[in-house]
Amino acid sequence: MKPVIAWFRSDLRLADNPMLAAAHDSGKPVIAVYILDDVNPGIWKQGGATRWWLHQSLAALLQKIPLVLLKGDASKELLKLAEKTGAEEVFWNRCYEPWAIERDTKIKEALKKKNIEAHSFNGFLLFEPWEIKNKTGSSYKVFTPYSRACHERGGIRPPAGAAKKINFAKADGLSLNDLGLMPDIKWYGGMAEFWQPGEEGAHKRLKRFAADGASKYKAQRDFPAVDGVSRLSPHLHFGELSPHQVWDALSGKVERAHDYLRQLLWREFSWHLLYHAPDFPEKPWNKQFTKFPWKKDKKLLRLWQKGNTGYPIVDAGMRQLWQTGWMHNRVRMIVGSFLVKNLLLNWRDGEDWFWDTLVDADLGNNAAGWQWIAGCGADAAPYFRIFNPVLQSRKFDPAGEYIKKYIPELKNLSSDYIHAPWEASPLELSAAGVTLGKTYPAPVVDLSESRDRALKAYSVSKSAA
């Protein structure tokens, strides 16, 4: 019997995987394939941290099923595989990156010409980005009415289990190491300690969060020293879990899950924005920002990237990112605001750095997060609302526990000074073993001056637009 192809992409799971279930239901032998495509994404090919994750996640999947691994332009590789194996049908779950939509449309046409049927499904989002529309038939630009429309629409399907006894067929492919996903320099030790990529790790985290975290989410979610968020983002990004599984585990089953489910709708909204504005990762949504006078300063950018700005909460966040491949959402907002407002560097620089270093780097969420914090996105924080990193730090990390964890050189400073070491007297600094400019950097900019400079730049660009 001729086989069918089940093409894994952002859905590295067996349970609740619509394309895999449909391939199995065809009754034919199933060739499962993953293709590492660094050709079609252009500048958005996967970054260092996501490549590390991908390697681990594929390794986990390979333990369960005979997955064929290929590398190259997926539009060519998939066709070659279909021709070689005589497959008559191909199944996949839809991806919504603009480059993926373009590529997959071409692939569908090419397969059709060869009489191979392509079937696509939704396994990545709760709602298709084109489904949720306002009364005039346009897409939403503001989150609250968008989320209301999602609730009104409802109908989120319950997740399906894993298909039993899939008749997998084998085909020639590469070894996992041949994909070359692991870096030569072993910088990933902290990440390996922190995460368990793969479907099993994803379910463990979801189970733990549903049991212990979800009902306390609203109260705890803003405090980076507390284990108060789900940390499901990389699992959702790689599709080791479907949003339907998360929704189902919490909705109506866990008290006060509403606030958490709202965040899942932010994820939907981000992808909805990207679908309707394919240049969203590169261009400001609000065209008023097209000529914003961003500074170009590689040295400042490097200090920010490495967590050496002299602002402890900013530096702790950037070091958490470097060590674990993830950063708490509150701190993402603080470091983002600091980059674009206090340092006046382009949000695209921040977006690129996150793209390379986050294990959850995700085209929709990352672009939306950066445009939100830069004030140029749809439904964004207004540019003139500038986070004060010291006040944010005092409010959300009052005892400085988060700072101490990632900046141990400040661990002996009292909570009065840990948020702003430059305010401590020389005596207090020396008692804590801190020498500003030596053991820990002095602030790279003055907060109030840089704030005024940002507001001036904003008013100039506003009047020029």
Residues 428, 429, 430, 432, CA torsion sign: positive
Length of the chain: 465
Please state, in angstroms and rounded to a whole number, the distance separating the CA atoms of residues 112 and 106: 10
Per 3-state DSSP, the chain is made up of helix, strand and coil in percentages (nearest 5) of 50, 10, 40
Binding footprint of ligand FAD on the chain (CB under 6 A): 221, 229-233, 236-237, 263-264, 266-267, 270, 329, 332-333, 336, 354, 358, 360-362, 365-366, 368-370, 373
- Smallest distance from ligand FAD to CB 192, Å: 19
Contact criterion met (CB below 8 Å) for 317 and 335: yes
Nearer to ligand FAD, 91 or 355 (CB): 355
- In the complex, which residue's CB is closest to ligand FAD? 369
- Smallest distance from ligand FAD to CB 44, Å: 12
Nearer to ligand FAD, 181 or 241 (CB): 241
Name beta bridge partners: 5.
31, 90
Q: C-alpha distances in angstroms, 207 versus 53, 67, 231, 252, 257?
A: 21, 27, 12, 15, 14
Based on C-alpha coordinates, what's the Rg of the chain? Answer: 23
Nearer to ligand FAD, 33 or 273 (CB): 273
> DSSP code of 39?
S
- Smallest distance from ligand FAD to CB 189, Å: 21
Contact criterion met (CB below 8 Å) for 86 and 262: no
- Smallest distance from ligand FAD to CB 219, Å: 13
- Smallest distance from ligand FAD to CB 377, Å: 10
- Smallest distance from ligand FAD to CB 246, Å: 8
- Smallest distance from ligand FAD to CB 136, Å: 25
Residue 216 CB-density burial (10 A; 0-12 exposed, 13-18 middle, 19+ buried): middle
> DSSP code of 128?
-
Please state, in angstroms and rounded to a whole number, the distance separating the CA atoms of residues 289 and 390: 27
Strand order in the sheet with 30-36: 67-71, 30-36, 4-8, 89-93, 117-121
- Smallest distance from ligand FAD to CB 229, Å: 3
